[in-house]
Structure 1
């Protein structure tokens, strides 16, 4: 069985009560940072994810972040979530930068573990650091040095960030290669030497108390790991690739059978800018079906003939709910059963069921598309859109949660299942909070229209 990242770190020596783990190198630091944070959270720890340089902005990873916030706001976030990403805004809003040093020190007592992306590689799968890199905080207990297996066998000039630093080290070692250095293929042997000279030895001098390891990421090749290990003084581990996003099929289900009691009329047919409210999410589903190859079915459950006819015209499965008086759970069950009936089940494929509501007219297809991509990459089995502490629709469930969903009764939807399994939930920041708005009453609509 492959070791988890946490198991690898614990095998290095005595495990501290409050680990501070810095990830450096190249080839998957951000992914590994969150995997590690989630493993720590499953042990009951409150985990801070941050950076000393810059890392992907959490909003673009489908994660909630506490950006440009005070220590008190970061503390409040830690009280509500086991994993908190905190930092400051980077240029253009695409990256997150480090917390101010004073803020970082002030928030440390709020957490049981810290995971830090402490190096930049500009998306290269391999790196040799400059003299001012990496940027590691005092008190770091563990340093994980990454190299991406996809870099192996390729010309060094194509895969290495800070090529000039690699040239210095290769020249010092008088390593011979055919042709130019940039054309020399990166092997586990050469990678081991460059990481040892570029990272391991300088970091042993700077942080003698910190445990170190090298992670040859995205590989199960034991020979490559062993060959690299022959040229380093710290343990080398391999980690296989995560399953690719899109590995399963997604069923989109629109729940459109409500009675609109508080609205005073059928809100789903209420016109917004010349179109009935239900048509906005219906068009989102239509766009997603075009955008994504992993959409296996689109199902619309309603008690209203107009909506069912419109859905059928678009080629969706239109399911009449004759028992909508029993609540939203009845529509949810009908949607699941119809999706399974239409597509059947395939043991080779994983099935995911994504539920939408028909009174959410501001939701955008590009937002849902980003959400689905992030969810599939996360490895989680439940996901939803969110803004801060507010969670919203759509909500997606892996097939393993179908029995639990089918046991729901009354006016209870999938959120009840989501709340029971917070450790398995992927939250995607929606961006504009208005996209989460649904409309229970005319008053709520009027407030938004102002």
Structure 2
């Protein structure tokens, strides 16, 4: 299976007081470098990282990695524009892909093992979507068969991939991933996360 991976990392970290959350360090690596290396380790196809705010300080963190970096000048309009930018970049990189994996840069506990497990679930259950469940949410990391790319491209504004997942629950395999609830959106999130690690 040829897989295209999109890492959404265009946000301005407004609740972080201007400090890019993509550059928060966990286990000696920034969150962005960590998730990008996990995506590359799948070794199934191209990896695209979508940047927007704070591009100049983030780009050096990805130096030397065999990825496609793409800028989304429309990032303030919401996540949908970054997703579309990433899909366009994937198409330019490799037109014939079997599916798309969508990742966020602020989930520190996403691992290569989780991503490979999601692909195994797709192979075993033959559903068009594989998404992670944590708490009451079912969301990213998420895999979409190429049949869903057109629908993903129709998202607007702040609508995320969750809209597509919810509409097609009957074609969605759920992977339990309670650690997915940890996303570092604010300084308080980071402080709590570091307290847990220190225990």
- TM-score, with structure 1 as normaliser: 0.41
Deviating runs (4+, > 6 A) in structure 1? none
2:56 aligns with 305
Q: Does 1:283 align with 2:37?
A: yes
| Cα distance in 2, alignment partners of residues 269 and 370 from structure 1 | 26
Which has the higher Rg, Structure 1 or Structure 2?
1
Alignment of 1:70-219 (within 5 A): none
| Cα distance in 2, alignment partners of residues 439 and 388 from structure 1 | 16
Contact in 1 for aligned 2:10/2:72 (Cα 8 Å): yes
Q: Residue 310 of structure 1: CA displacement?
A: 4.0
Contact in 2 for aligned 1:384/1:391 (Cα 8 Å): yes
> Unaligned stretches of 5+ in structure 1?
1-247, 290-294
| Cα distance in 2, alignment partners of residues 388 and 323 from structure 1 | 31
CA separation of 1:311 and 1:275: change in aligned 2, threshold 3 A: closer
2:147 aligns with 400
Contact in 2 for aligned 1:300/1:308 (Cα 8 Å): no
| Cα distance in 1, alignment partners of residues 165 and 89 from structure 2 | 22
Q: Does 1:254 align with 2:7?
A: yes
| Cα distance in 1, alignment partners of residues 151 and 129 from structure 2 | 13
Q: Residue 373 of structure 1: CA displacement?
A: 1.0
Equivalent in 259, 264, 280 of residue 17 of structure 2? 264
Alignment of 1:370-381 (within 5 A): 370-381=117-128
| Cα distance in 2, alignment partners of residues 368 and 384 from structure 1 | 10
Q: Residue 276 of structure 1: CA displacement?
A: 2.5
| Cα distance in 2, alignment partners of residues 312 and 372 from structure 1 | 27
Q: Does 1:325 align with 2:79?
A: no
Alignment of 1:203-242 (within 5 A): none
Equivalent in 100, 104, 110 of residue 353 of structure 1? 100
| Cα distance in 1, alignment partners of residues 135 and 9 from structure 2 | 27
| Cα distance in 2, alignment partners of residues 366 and 436 from structure 1 | 17
Equivalenced residues, count? 192
User: Which structure is richer in relative contact order (CA contacts within 8 A, separation 6 or more)?
Assistant: 2
2:156 aligns with 409
Contact in 1 for aligned 2:135/2:181 (Cα 8 Å): no
Equivalent in 341, 347, 360 of residue 92 of structure 2? 341
Q: Residue 374 of structure 1: CA displacement?
A: 1.0
Q: Residue 312 of structure 1: CA displacement?
A: 5.4
| Cα distance in 1, alignment partners of residues 37 and 57 from structure 2 | 15
SS of the counterpart of 2:4? strand
Contact in 2 for aligned 1:308/1:320 (Cα 8 Å): no
SS of the counterpart of 2:159? coil
2:188 aligns with 443
| Cα distance in 1, alignment partners of residues 192 and 59 from structure 2 | 29
- TM-score, with structure 2 as normaliser: 0.88
> Unaligned stretches of 5+ in structure 2?
none
Contact in 1 for aligned 2:131/2:142 (Cα 8 Å): yes
The structure that is helix-richer by fraction is: 2
1:45 aligns with none
SS of the counterpart of 1:322? coil
Equivalent in 171, 175, 178 of residue 428 of structure 1? 175
| Cα distance in 2, alignment partners of residues 376 and 309 from structure 1 | 36
| Cα distance in 2, alignment partners of residues 364 and 270 from structure 1 | 16
